[in-house]
Chains A and B, each alone.
Chain A
Amino acid sequence: MKTALDRLEGVLQGRGVSRRTFLARCARAAAASSLALPAARALAEPPEAGPREGAGAKGKHDLVVAKGSDPGAITRKAIEAMGGMRRFVKPGAVVVVKPNMAWDRVPEQAGNTNPAVMAALVALCLEAGAKRVNVFDRPCNDRKRVYDRSGIKAAVEEKGAKVYFVDDWNAVKAKFASESPMAGWPLFRDAVECDTLINVPVLKHHDLTELTLSMKNLMGVCLGDRGEIHGGIGAKLADLTAFLKPDLTVIDAFRVLTAHGPSGGDLKDVAARKTVIVGTDFVLADAFAADFAGVSPANVPYIAEASTRGYGSADLKGARIRSLGG
């Protein structure tokens, strides 16, 4: 104790080293840190990556539409009706459950995905044997506020998910097999390199695209300046979603935003539809959701483009749809 205090006193009195040594150390540290700064500025160019390899699993039905008053429960029922989460999540898989967690709004305002729906999905993935379930988004408002006030961070962490912010530098550049307006766009690496991707948008009105649904939701894994995506948005979102190949699309229509989307704010614009829509064909899921919201799927630019490009089917009449509840 005595020697420790003496040594502490020596250090505090600068007696530990000679002046020359001390100054030399300062200079070395300064030189080292001043070298680190330019090196850090020259961050490596992100590597290219081809389309995500989805699990390609098919569900028991084309679509399952579950209605009820408990959002978590109807999500579970819908997944069970689809054949269970084990169809889509293999043991030891790394799963990304990608919500709409973009806006500084509380769940009642329907600006983000319902936290209970997210919690149910995370629990199902872990029950199916997933090694890790990652939940993230790249918000439009301040990310700490959004993660807290959306209620999603707390709800999914309670179930065991890993929640974190998107790293702006951690990208892979999208490499398409054929020409695409999204070629070379930096995407968040974790979304491309996961074993299973579950896309969980919330149904909202949107002035540019009429509605924001699952294809629009994947803008949240795009890095860079997303404002540029707005020109010719239909084709870009269609290509983006096809590149990411979500294994499961779960559209939260429990509370929907009927006007002044996508940020909303006024509770008068929120309608309680108490429904969750689940499908493996993202085009079909979006088409059904559009129709559900009273909008013709042809009027939603990315549904039209995706259907034209053959990424999925928008044919609601020919689809095998299972309805639960209500």
Chain B
Amino acid sequence: MPARPLVVLRRLSQIAWTAFFVYVLWSTTYPLTGGVSPNVLFAGDPLIVGISSIAGRLVVDYWWIALVFLVLTALLGRFFCGWVCPLGFCSDAAARLRPSRRRVFPPAAEWRPVKYAILALLVLAAVFGLQLAWVLDPIVIAARFVSLNLIPAIVTSTDRAFAWAIPRFGWYGAPLDFYRWLKGGLLGVNAHLFGHSIVIFAVFALIVLAAAIARRFWCRVLCPLGALYALAARRPFLRRVVRGCSECGTCHDVCRMAAIAEGERYDPAECILCLDCVYDCPVSGTAFSFTRPVPATAGAVVAVSADAETAPSHSGTVTRGQFLELVAGAAAALGPGRSLASVLAPGTPTAPEPAEPIRPPGALPEARFVDRCIRCGNCMKVCVTNVLQPCVTEGGWEGVWTPRLVPEAGYCEYHCTLCGQVCPVRAIEPLAEERKQKVRIGLAWFDHALCIPWAGDRECIVCQEHCPVPEKAIKLETVVVRGKRIKRPRVDAKLCIGCGICTFKCPVRPRRAVTVYTEAQWHRVDAAESL
């Protein structure tokens, strides 16, 4: 038996839940046969479910999973934070890089109420119809990191590694077959690249690095989901009991959540059931057992932790060298984020930005969309062509990181309806294929100064060739230019649905000759051009 069997079990639980989390997101790709809908990951998050329901006045699919977690928390304590949460797992893993488990950054104890303030703010905003859970919910932060940073980095770097090694060493036999088998299966997530992903990565990295400096900093001070679970865990049935306490203060030093005052006095709302105190107790007097709940002693914990004698000094911080190693390791191993310009072909500036972003088919009207969207990244992850990219400012400040179509990066596949199927809060409605094909998300616009047959006398019409609308939303007019009969494309505004494949396939660089505007903007531009 290991010396700390329950701690081993807890770590295995954390690994398993995190692996499950990554597995579900990894299989969020065509044809969605992972067995578990990615919506379930967020339906199990009571903060997302609660805030979305209040703000959006709706019922989230699978909401009862969140209720199960809340009820279990009321019975057992904050087990989610210690045994399940992927961000908690990453925080604990980051803290592993520190030598000692005993150091806790002093001011954090006083800052613990901050997370309750954040939670209160979220609830208040939700009552007024504003959904802000997406900013600080840990599951959503973890999901964005996995979908928009981690998986693309793994897939891209593995693909590039083979692409470099196979011709370099002439491995055209079994290794090439193996690479192709990977591409048809595990690696077949279409190596998505996302603009602005470095900021998304930075948020995740900051939280994890903070945990390396002060253990579980995010969980103790900032996490609104932790605050919600803390409120639920105030009087659990599973409690920490101490017998024969020698008042050595070891448990107080060891507790990563600063939840223990001393001996028996601990705050169950802060305890995440890591069970370190059980095994570190020199008299083996600490245990967790099912007893009748007693009132919490939260006030005493805060007062004692603020005591100057027990607060460690500056020696708890990480050295500069270690910090740089961490940063280098994280950046190199997980892949750099990219600006949108580098996602597109080098030297491809996008068209002059449309006034409004193009939203996926089935999306709620703009104002409600940016409010409902929790920026989980599911739709961007599942999109088969990589056309969905996170907004930076295109949707205004309220639209940061909501998905929009960037036709220079991809297009909306005509027969695909996956994005609506993986939106946990129905900011994108799931549409049947026939209905989706009739939804207009934008209109194509030709720049006659750039378009090859319009500007010169050469043939092209790659755009029309790819138009998926059966009757063709791009019509051709034949003209004679310098003795040659060539065909020129023209948009049929009654048929075009704005999928953007014409823009995507247009060979003109650095700016495409055809671009997609929202319907409203298209008519404005059309009216201006006709003057």
CA distance A33 to B507 in the complex (A): 34
User: What 0/1 readout, one digit per residue, does chain A (51-80) give for beta carbons within 8 Å of chain B?
Assistant: 000000000000000000000000000000
Leading 5 A-B pairs by shortest Cβ distance: A227-B507, A265-B470, A266-B470, A34-B332, A9-B2
CA distance A240 to B4 in the complex (A): 69
CA distance A26 to B7 in the complex (A): 25
B164 touches A40 (CB 8 A): yes
Are A207 and B464 also in contact (CB < 8 A) when A164-B184, A260-B471 are? yes
Residues on B with C-beta less than 8 A from A266 are 470-471
Residues on B with C-beta less than 8 A from A104 are 413-415, 468
Are A27 and B325 also in contact (CB < 8 A) when A40-B157, A231-B452 are? yes
Cross-interface CB contact of B416 among A22, A142, A167, cutoff 8 Å: A142
A227 touches B462 (CB 8 A): yes
Q: Does A262 contact B (CB under 8 A)?
A: yes
Chain A: CB-nearest residue to B29: A144
A9 touches B4 (CB 8 A): yes
A165 touches B163 (CB 8 A): no
Q: Does A23 contact B (CB under 8 A)?
A: yes
Of B115-123, B297-305, B368-376, B453-461, the one with at least 4 CB within 8 A of chain A: B453-461
Residues on A with C-beta less than 8 A from B507 are 225, 227-228, 230
Chain A: CB-nearest residue to B166: A170
Interface of chain A residues 196 through 211 with chain B (CB within 8 A): 206-208
Residues on A with C-beta less than 8 A from B459 are 208, 230-233
Q: Does B398 contact A (CB under 8 A)?
A: no
A208 touches B461 (CB 8 A): yes
Q: List 23 A-B contacts (CB under 8 A).
A: A12-B8, A19-B97, A26-B97, A39-B164, A40-B157, A40-B161, A43-B163, A43-B167, A44-B168, A104-B413, A104-B414, A142-B385, A142-B413, A144-B31, A145-B413, A164-B180, A170-B163, A231-B460, A232-B459, A233-B459, A263-B468, A265-B468, A269-B470
Residues on B with C-beta less than 8 A from A164 are 180-181, 183-184
Residues on A with C-beta less than 8 A from B177 are 162
CA distance A123 to B329 in the complex (A): 51
Are A144 and B30 also in contact (CB < 8 A) when A170-B166, A265-B469 are? yes
Are A145 and B415 also in contact (CB < 8 A) when A9-B8, A269-B470 are? yes
Q: Does A141 contact B (CB under 8 A)?
A: yes
CB B457 to nearest CB in A, in angstroms, measures 10
Q: Does A148 contact B (CB under 8 A)?
A: yes
CB A81 to nearest CB in B, in angstroms, measures 35
Q: Does B96 contact A (CB under 8 A)?
A: yes
CA distance A163 to B184 in the complex (A): 9
Are A40 and B160 also in contact (CB < 8 A) when A9-B2, A227-B462 are? yes
Cross-interface CB contact of A165 among B183, B328, B332, B467, cutoff 8 Å: B183
Q: Does B102 contact A (CB under 8 A)?
A: no
B460 touches A227 (CB 8 A): yes
CA distance A9 to B279 in the complex (A): 13
Residues on B with C-beta less than 8 A from A225 are 507
Q: Does A31 contact B (CB under 8 A)?
A: yes
A227 touches B461 (CB 8 A): no
B413 touches A141 (CB 8 A): yes
CB B421 to nearest CB in A, in angstroms, measures 15
CB B13 to nearest CB in A, in angstroms, measures 12
Q: Does B333 contact A (CB under 8 A)?
A: yes
CA distance A44 to B265 in the complex (A): 65
CA distance A100 to B2 in the complex (A): 60
Residue from A6, A26, A163 having most chain B Cβ neighbours under 10 A: A26
Q: Does A177 contact B (CB under 8 A)?
A: no
Q: Does B465 contact A (CB under 8 A)?
A: yes
Q: Does B310 contact A (CB under 8 A)?
A: no
Are A26 and B3 also in contact (CB < 8 A) when A142-B384, A208-B465 are? no
Interface of chain B residues 418 through 471 with chain A (CB within 8 A): 452, 458-462, 464-471
CB A267 to nearest CB in B, in angstroms, measures 9
Q: Does B322 contact A (CB under 8 A)?
A: yes
Q: Does A298 contact B (CB under 8 A)?
A: no
CA distance A263 to B2 in the complex (A): 63
Residues on A with C-beta less than 8 A from B181 are 164
Chain B: CB-nearest residue to A206: B465
Residues on B with C-beta less than 8 A from A169 are 163, 167
Are A40 and B415 also in contact (CB < 8 A) when A207-B465, A230-B460 are? no
Q: Does A319 contact B (CB under 8 A)?
A: no
Residues on B with C-beta less than 8 A from A34 are 328, 331-332
Residues on B with C-beta less than 8 A from A141 are 413-414
A27 touches B164 (CB 8 A): no
CB A8 to nearest CB in B, in angstroms, measures 7
Interface of chain B residues 388 through 418 with chain A (CB within 8 A): 413-416
User: What 0/1 readout, one digit per residue, does chain B (73-88) give for beta carbons within 8 Å of chain A?
Assistant: 0000000000000000
CB A107 to nearest CB in B, in angstroms, measures 14
Residues on B with C-beta less than 8 A from A115 are none
B167 touches A9 (CB 8 A): no
Q: A5-B1, A9-B3, A13-B7 are in contact. List 10 more A-B contacts (CB 8 A).
A: A8-B2, A9-B4, A9-B7, A12-B11, A44-B167, A145-B415, A164-B183, A208-B487, A231-B458, A263-B465
CA distance A164 to B181 in the complex (A): 8
User: What 0/1 readout, one digit per residue, does chain A (131-158) give for beta carbons within 8 Å of chain B?
Assistant: 0000000001110110011000000000
Chain A: CB-nearest residue to B160: A40
Q: Does B505 contact A (CB under 8 A)?
A: yes
Residue from B181, B472, B487 having most chain A Cβ neighbours under 10 A: B472
B2 touches A23 (CB 8 A): no
CB A41 to nearest CB in B, in angstroms, measures 7
Q: Does A317 contact B (CB under 8 A)?
A: no
Q: Does A325 contact B (CB under 8 A)?
A: no
User: What 0/1 readout, one digit per residue, does chain B (1-22) give for beta carbons within 8 Å of chain A?
Assistant: 1111001100100000000000
Q: Does A36 contact B (CB under 8 A)?
A: yes
B325 touches A23 (CB 8 A): yes
Q: Does B352 contact A (CB under 8 A)?
A: no
Q: Does A29 contact B (CB under 8 A)?
A: yes
CB A212 to nearest CB in B, in angstroms, measures 9
CB B362 to nearest CB in A, in angstroms, measures 18
Residues on A with C-beta less than 8 A from B470 are 260, 264-266, 269
CB A320 to nearest CB in B, in angstroms, measures 35
Residues on B with C-beta less than 8 A from A12 are 7-8, 11
Residue from A29, A39, A163, A265 having most chain B Cβ neighbours under 10 A: A265
Interface of chain B residues 174 through 188 with chain A (CB within 8 A): 176-177, 179-181, 183-184, 188
Residues on A with C-beta less than 8 A from B322 are 23
Residues on A with C-beta less than 8 A from B461 are 207-208, 230
Residues on B with C-beta less than 8 A from A140 are 466, 505
CA distance A169 to B97 in the complex (A): 39
CA distance A5 to B8 in the complex (A): 9
A33 touches B466 (CB 8 A): no
B465 touches A36 (CB 8 A): no
A263 touches B333 (CB 8 A): no
Q: Does B130 contact A (CB under 8 A)?
A: no
CA distance A100 to B286 in the complex (A): 71
CA distance A19 to B333 in the complex (A): 19
Chain A: CB-nearest residue to B188: A144
Q: Does A14 contact B (CB under 8 A)?
A: yes
Q: Does B48 contact A (CB under 8 A)?
A: no
